[in-house]
Amino acid sequence: MLEQNNISSLAISLFISGILICGYLVCMSYFDFRLFSFANLAQFLVSVLMMILALTKIQSSGLRIYSIFLLVHALFLGFNAYNLSTLQYIREFRHLYFIIPGIIILAACFYLGEIKFCANRIILPKRPMISSGVLVNMILCVYMAGYLVLFTLKGSPFLSVIFSKSQYGIYHAYSATGLGYYRIPILSGLLMMMNWFLLMLIPTVKRPQKIMIIAATLLFSGVLMLSRGNIIRIMLFFILFGIYQQKNKIFSTKNVAIFILSIIIIISSFTMLGEYRHHSSNMNKFNFSSVVQSHIDNKAVSWLYAYTSMSYDVLLQYQDYPIKNLPLSILQPILRLVGQQEIYENIYIECLNVRLKNSGLNAATIFSGFVHDFGILYILEIVVFGLVIAGIVKLIILVQAQGAYIFILMLVAISIMGNYFSTPSFLFPVLAIIILTPFIRNSNEKT
């Protein structure tokens, strides 16, 4: 059986590698050859090797945080080497220093958090204090009541679009008042924390409550708040949750088909929401392929490529900004917690201002903050950050918080777009679930 899995893993790895290599050769021959370099080729080959390693680990061990992190960055780093946009940097070997070592170091840290060097579980209380089903009902009531208060006081961006008489449509909801108008300090942050906390409780409740959580989180934090990011994150969480249950049968024909269909739905949703938003704001004269100067005039390809693979080129912009010489990326949640809101917001605004050659693209991978903090010494902060996250992962495994583990899987899967671990609304719910899990009784278990 083990030999059969190894053969299957090798076949899948070779197949995907072959597709990537063929695509690379086509791009080299079809597009402007001046965009390519030996550094570009080295980047592509390293990404293929990392992808093969990641797929092999997934086939043998199932979904793991380090393998998903490695796979996501390997795939999009490989696609980055295609140079589908003229906005991209002509790759030099010095550029690779700000990309590849960071990926390898963080993947190694995540691996340390998952290997068994001590007990992989702790003794939980024999009589947990509260049922997860009861807890979910309580949080859902507070969650929905909180959003009703928010919408009563500030309105809903989605409803503002629907009932707006402005010819600018969705642009009116974003720019006429600013999307920040629809938020209330503290309340909005608490609602987002409850949003992710509810998701992490999904593995512990029965099917009806799973559906309630899906409906509530998608409706309130996604649709009514007009948040494309939250919709994608919630959908991705459920995809990973479904795949995680398959353990070593991930690459079965049925699972691969379901995964491909789910990814197509996510990409289509992301593209349609993006097109609708920008068409409205530009009075139907918007072409995203032109904005990112893509060689391929396809909406879905342009949107996906711009917000994933081109993030590495945005990352390279941080080389030109003054470094802070302080580990602010690690300290962000603490600064927010102790009331240093101004420092936190200044960091956020500075990062928003880093855009790829006036294209408006500012997603810069999980590494941007570290490069912004220490420049060429960014690896030092990455090592500390990675070990901290590894410790959190180990705690999640010890308390058997499956929902938190899948949530971390989701965060590393979208780390191509930014560092969500340093955002309080993502980090604090994870810490809360670690602390509370020993006192929560799984509603799916017989008493």
Mean pLDDT, the chain, integer: 82
**In terms of Cα–Cα distance, which of 233, 223, 205, 231 is closest to 140?**
205
pLDDT for residue 121:
59
Indicate the SS3 state at residue 131.
strand
Q: Pick left, alpha or beta for residue 358 (phi over 0 → left; psi -120 to 50 → alpha; otherwise beta).
A: left
Does residue 345 have a pLDDT over 80?
no
Contact predicate 44/24, CB 8 Å = yes
Q: Which domain holds residue 254?
A: 130-281
Question: In angstroms, how far apart are the furthest CA atoms of the chain?
Answer: 67
pLDDT for residue 2:
47
DSSP symbol at 174:
I
Does residue 283 have a pLDDT over 70?
no
Q: Which helix (H) or strand (E) holds 75?
A: helix 65-80
Sequence length of the chain is: 447
Contact predicate 176/166, CB 8 Å = yes
> 85 pairs with which residues across the strands?
294
Residue 156 within a domain? yes
pLDDT tens for 61-97 read: 888 999 999 999 999 999 898 888 888 888 889 999 9
Does residue 183 have a pLDDT over 80?
yes
Is 30 exposed, middle or buried, given 0-12, 13-18 or 19+ CB atoms closer than 10 A? exposed
pLDDT for residue 334:
83
User: Which of these ranges, 91-105, 327-341, 375-389, has the smallest mean pLDDT?
Assistant: 327-341
Does residue 391 have a pLDDT over 70?
yes
User: Which of these ranges, 299-313, 349-363, 423-437, has the smallest mean pLDDT?
Assistant: 349-363
pLDDT for residue 166:
47
**In terms of Cα–Cα distance, which of 421, 443, 408 is closest to 329?**
421
DSSP characters over 367-425 = THHHHHHHGGGHHHHHHHHHHHHHHHHHHHHHHT-HHHHHHHHHHHHTTTT---TTSHH
In whole angstroms, give the CA distance from residue 209 to residue 150: 24
Q: What is the rounded average pLDDT of the residues 335-359?
A: 67
In whole angstroms, give the CA distance from residue 351 to residue 364: 9
Distances (CA, A) of 425 to 42, 263, 439: 38, 25, 22
User: Which of these ranges, 3-17, 35-49, 253-267, 315-329, has the smallest mean pLDDT?
Assistant: 3-17
Residue 361 within a domain? no
Which of 197-201, 204-208, 324-328, 330-334 has maximum average pLDDT?
197-201
In whole angstroms, give the CA distance from residue 388 to residue 39: 32
Angle at 179 between CA 176 and CA 185, to 5 degrees: 130
Indicate the SS3 state at residue 201.
coil
Give φ, ψ of 85 to 5 degrees.
Answer: -125, 140
> 444 pairs with which residues across the strands?
none
pLDDT tens for 288-334 read: 777 777 778 788 888 888 889 999 999 988 887 777 788 888 888 88
**In terms of Cα–Cα distance, which of 414, 300, 322 is closest to 364?**
414
pLDDT tens for 25-38 read: 777 666 655 667 88
In whole angstroms, give the CA distance from residue 221 to residue 217: 5
Indicate the SS3 state at residue 85.
strand
Q: How confident is the model at residue 3 (pLDDT cuts 50, 70, 90)?
A: low
Residue 223 within a domain? yes
Number of independent structural domains in the chain: 1
pLDDT for residue 165:
47
Residue 311 within a domain? no
Enter the tokens of residue 83: 């140079």
What share of the chain has pLDDT > 90, as a percent?
A: 39
Residue 288 within a domain? no
Contact predicate 330/347, CB 8 Å = no
DSSP symbol at 294:
B
Is this model's pTM higher than 0.85 or not? yes
Does residue 422 have a pLDDT over 80?
yes
**In terms of Cα–Cα distance, which of 214, 250, 255 is closest to 231?**
214
Contact predicate 371/98, CB 8 Å = yes
**In terms of Cα–Cα distance, which of 221, 215, 219 is closest to 195?**
221
pLDDT for residue 171:
47
Amino acid at 28: M
Residue 204 within a domain? yes
Does residue 253 have a pLDDT over 80?
no
pLDDT for residue 342:
65
Residue 221 within a domain? yes
**247 against 94, higher pLDDT:** 94
pLDDT for residue 182:
82
Does residue 348 have a pLDDT over 80?
no
In whole angstroms, give the CA distance from residue 106 to residue 114: 13
Contact predicate 420/414, CB 8 Å = yes
